[in-house]
Amino acid sequence: MTDKPSPAPPPHLKASAFLVLGVVFVAALVFYQMLGPHLMLGRWAVMFAALLLFAIFTVVLSALPYHPHRSFGAANAITAIRTAIVSLVTAFVFFAADMDEHSAVWILIALVVAAFVLDGFDGYLARRFGQESALGARFDMEVDALLILVLSEAALLLGKAGWWVLLIGLMRYLFVGAQYFMPALGEPLPPSFRRKLICVVQVATLCVILVPTIVPPVSTAAALIALALLAYSFAADILYLLRKSRS
């Protein structure tokens, strides 16, 4: 987050955030219990999804000083719902008894599509209601990053591509890790349509190759193209930041 935090979030913002996140969390618990058996998830997997969601929401609450508005906002509420979906997707990928079961994979794809569609609304709502913030932008970005990482893991486990497909999900985390050795990479980047478009391509491609009828070499080629586009995007950002630091 690059914006300066406010000294302390006002009580009405805290109340708004607790209300929104609390409602989403309780609804998610019910949703997990209902959908868990269809995804062949046991009690521990459902508990993992709930704990992951709780941990993410705890981090979001700690970052409220970076949201300089009176209410938590509809955009962040949408992102919270997306987080609940992504947490369940994560539990499925790491705990599903049989990832080759087609019915469960189709439910997984439906969940990813739902999260993907909702992703088109949070940014719009933040701009529409004048509630853009560093918290909202980071919240949205981290949920996207987690989803891409989990989907790349699913692609590997389902045999859609080789181990290198994990680089699609790991590349952003490698970029963040590199900032400790090259502080120039931690400088803010300007808004970029190219960056947003390639992020969409990653999620869409990984979602498509999970379809049971999409198998190698088609799935491998699609994943390789997605990885190449992502590498190009990161390379362009890295070159921009290095040139900026030298100037």
Q: Among the listed ranges 120-129, 217-226, 228-237, which one has the minimum average pLDDT value?
A: 120-129
Contact 223, 116 (CB under 8 A): no
What pLDDT band is residue 3 in, cutting at 50, 70 and 90? low
Contact 214, 105 (CB under 8 A): no
Instruction: List Cβ neighbours of 245 (8 Å cut-off, separation of 6 or more).
Output: 184, 187
Sign of the alpha-carbon torsion through 4, 8, 14, 18? positive
What pLDDT band is residue 123 in, cutting at 50, 70 and 90? confident
pLDDT at residue 8 in the model: 73
Contact 233, 174 (CB under 8 A): no
What sections of the chain are H helices per DSSP? 11-35, 43-62, 74-95, 102-128, 134-157, 166-178, 193-209, 218-246
pLDDT at residue 2 in the model: 59
User: Closest Cα partner for 108 from 184, 49, 182, 29?
Assistant: 49
Model confidence at 21: pLDDT above 90:
yes
Contact 89, 147 (CB under 8 A): yes
Residue boundaries of the structural domains of the chain: 11-246
Model confidence at 30: pLDDT above 90:
yes
Contact 115, 76 (CB under 8 A): no
Overall CATH class of domain 11-246: mainly alpha
Give the mean pLDDT of 26-44. Answer: 92
Contact 91, 52 (CB under 8 A): yes
Given its phi and psi angles, is residue 217 left (phi above 0), alpha (psi -120 to 50 degrees) or beta?
A: alpha
Q: What's the angle, vertex CA 117, arms to CA 113 and CA 120, rounded to 5?
A: 150
Q: What is the pTM of this model?
A: 0.93
Contact 108, 162 (CB under 8 A): no
Question: CA dihedral in degrees (126, 130, 134, 135; nearest 10)?
Answer: -60
Contact 223, 209 (CB under 8 A): yes
pLDDT, one tens digit per residue, over 209-231 is: 999 999 999 999 999 999 999 99
pLDDT at residue 13 in the model: 94
Q: Is 60 helix (H, G, I), strand (E, B) or coil?
A: helix
